[in-house]
């Protein structure tokens, strides 16, 4: 299998659940195909937006199989991180076997604080355990949730030690000064979590973006990726993201996906997430004027 270095506009896709909490495979595939057909270069499956850490390893493996069988795996990145190495390695090996383009891996987030040598040793062991299934690995930096930050020095050390496997990072910190430092690492593809950062991709060296709100209007993000100096387009993309982000992000994204798809299954979230039930919030979301939704 040829390893893939990904780039461009990537939606962090949500996961639909029925009233019993089971994954709705048909709704998932419908939305994923819509995203790929309407501006996304790749998709990130089973990330934070996909509520991956509310799912068991068995459930995650099942959704990985659904995605691989229903979509082009070469356009999919999948979250495989867990606090323990065995689960992370097993999911990462499965991602390779199913033909995914890359694995997005959280740090082992239970023990904190942790020395950088310990983090390096953990990822070195993951590389060793998956040597026969050498899928591309991207680091997932989300210190607000994990309590752990991949320092630029550690990221460079991992990239230099394992250049054939560790190819970049998604940064959900929201700290673009930090993101710019990561992007200076040679051969290291860095993806901010906001599509508004696409306007600075050429200047700052970003490989694209991986964003929850791309699910709602991927076409505008793709246009901005291709026309990074378009100030009017940047304002449109930034405004939509900010409007959605004033609400709880995961249920807000799922509500808008359900509106576009005409499918109420998307309104279900897993605890500890809670659905949006406040009428004012729902009316605010429904009032958003989005080409992708208005056309639906």
Active-site positions read 140, 170
- Check the annotation: does 148 bind a ligand: no
Residue 44, strand partner residues:
12, 77
The sign of the torsion formed by the CA atoms of 190, 191, 192, 198 equals: positive
- Check the annotation: does 49 bind a ligand: yes
With a CB cutoff of 8 Å and minimum separation 6, the contacts of 56 are: none
Quick one: DSSP state of residue 185? S
For the record, the structure tokens of 232 come out as 């009017």
Q: What is the CA radius of gyration of the chain?
A: 18
For the record, the structure tokens of 164 come out as 């054939």
Instruction: Outline where the chain has alpha helix (H).
Output: 25-37, 57-70, 85-97, 116-129, 143-146, 152-161, 176-183, 201-204, 218-226, 231-245, 249-261, 279-286, 291-294
The helix (run of H) or strand (run of E) holding residue 138 is: strand 136-141
Residue count of the chain: 296
Q: Binding site, residues?
A: 49, 210
Annotated binding site for pyruvate: 49, 210
């Amino acid at each position: 299998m040829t390893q893939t270095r990904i780039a461009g506009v990537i939606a962090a896709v949500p996961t639909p659940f029925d009233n019993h909490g089971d994954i709705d495979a048909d709704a998932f595939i419908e939305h994923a195909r819509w995203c790929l057909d309407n501006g996304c270069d790749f998709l990130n499956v089973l990330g934070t937006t996909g509520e991956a850490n509310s799912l068991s390893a068995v459930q995650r493996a099942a959704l990985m199989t659904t995605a691989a069988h229903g979509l082009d795996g070469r356009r999919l990145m999948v979250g495989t991180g867990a606090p323990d190495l065995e689960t992370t390695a097993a999911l990462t090996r499965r991602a390779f076997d199913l033909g995914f383009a890359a694995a997005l891996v959280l740090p082992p987030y239970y023990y904190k604080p942790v020395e950088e040598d310990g983090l390096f040793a953990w990822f070195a062991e993951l590389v060793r355990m998956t040597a026969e299934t050498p899928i591309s690995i991207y680091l997932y930096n989300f210190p607000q949730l994990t309590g752990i930050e991949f320092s630029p020095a550690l990221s460079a050390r991992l990239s230099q030690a394992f250049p054939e496997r560790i190819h970049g990072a998604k940064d959900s910190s929201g700290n673009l000064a930090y993101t710019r430092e990561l992007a200076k690492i040679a051969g290291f593809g860095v993806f901010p979590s906001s599509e508004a950062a696409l306007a600075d991709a050429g200047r700052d060296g970003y490989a694209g973006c991986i964003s929850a709100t791309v699910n709602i209007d991927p076409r505008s993000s793709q246009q901005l990726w291709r026309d990074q100096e378009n100030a009017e387009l940047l304002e449109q993309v930034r405004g939509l993201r900010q409007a959605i982000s004033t609400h709880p992000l995961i249920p807000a994204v799922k509500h808008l996906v359900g509106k576009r798809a005409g499918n109420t299954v998307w309104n279900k979230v897993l605890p500890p997430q809670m659905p949006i039930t406040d009428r004012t919030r729902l009316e605010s979301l429904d009032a958003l004027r989005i080409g992708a939704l208005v056309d639906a």
